[in-house]
Chains A and B, each alone.
Chain A
Amino acid sequence: AQTVTQSQPEMSVQEAETVTLSCTYDTSESDYYLFWYKQPPSRQMILVIRQEAYKQQNATENRFSVNFQKAAKSFSLKISDSQLGDAAMYFCAYGGNTGKLIFGQGTTLQVKP
């Protein structure tokens, strides 16, 4: 069975600085997708970024980028130029052949002004 692990329950970053959130996963599938979702205090789940496992190039969305290491089964999220609005709980998720998402435990990000 697939698993997703986020080993950092809480992280903090100074406004305008860069922070990296860690995620590792375990799978025997060769074709899969990885996601980072953000859940602010409103609790609305918002897609931050998506990565197809067959693509070697790391996905980027404005200030958000990932470091996808397929062999190491690692999928970290880098947030550059952090803003107060980035404060939220971040979930790493794995999507495989079943179509279901398997979520990590989440990392709460605090942004300090």
Chain B
Amino acid sequence: GAVVSQHPSWVICKSGTSVKIECRSLDFQATTMFWYRQFPKQSLMLMATSNEGSKATYEQGVEKDKFLINHASLTLSTLTVTSAHPEDSSFYICSARGEGGPGETQYFGPGTRLLVL
């Protein structure tokens, strides 16, 4: 159990375009989802936390107008990178947590590699 999917796994886009990444919890209801960014051989950096039906909470330094997060249902959250630029190229990972509260384990999606040309 506890499977999280992400789509797409790879995306290459031109500078200035927008890219949407989907994160789905396949076998449980995810009241909270998290979005991370990871550079090669580095740790995960939390970008934002989203709760179903409410606005996302962004970490300090993350542009909320650039990284739009929507958590419209208990199984789906989306991250849209608006007007992407080469510096947005990275590995984006989502995670999902069930209804057990802060102590509940986070389960991670397989990640999305974004390359902006």
For A98, the chain B residues whose CB sits under 8 A away are 102
Residue of B nearest to A99 (CB): B102
CB pair A33 B103 closer than 8 Å: yes
**How many B residues touch the partner, as a band?**
20 to 34
Q: What total of chain A residues lie within 8 Å of the partner, measured CB to CB? A: 26
Q: Which partner residue on chain B sits nearest A106 by CB separation?
A: B43
| Contact residues in B for A52 (Cβ distance below 8 Å) | 103
**Stretch in B19-27, B61-69, B91-99 with 4+ CB within 8 Å of A:** B91-99
- A25 on the interface (CB 8 Å rule)? no
Task: Kindly provide the distance from the CB of A86 to the nearest chain B CB, expressed in whole angstroms.
Answer: 18
| Closest chain A residue to B49, Cβ basis | A100
Nearest Cβ in chain A — how far from B111, in angstroms?
5
Q: How far is the CA of A74 from the CA of B110 in the complex (A)?
A: 29
A43 to B110, CA, bound (A): 7
CB distance from B13 to the nearest CB of A (A): 20
| Cα distance A7–B106 in the bound complex, in angstroms | 24
Of residues 11 through 59 on chain A, the ones whose CB sits less than 8 Å from some CB of chain B are 31, 33, 35, 37, 42-47, 50, 52
Taking a contact as CB atoms under 8 Å apart, the answer to whether B44 and A91 are in contact is: yes
Q: Please indicate the chain A residues that have their CB under 8 angstroms from the CB of B106 in the complex.
A: 95, 101
B78 shortest CB reach to chain A, Å: 19
A62 at the interface (CB under 8 A from B): no
Which residues of A are found within 8 Å of B110, using beta-carbon distances? 42-44
Within 47-80 of B, Cβ neighbours of A (below 8 Å) are at 49
Complex-state Cα separation, A26 to B42, whole angstroms:
20
Measuring CB to CB, which residues of chain B are less than 8 angstroms from any residue of chain A? 32, 34, 38, 41-44, 46, 49, 91, 93, 95, 97, 101-108, 110-111
User: Which 3 residue pairs are nearest across A and B when measured between Cβ atoms?
Assistant: A45-B108, A99-B102, A103-B43
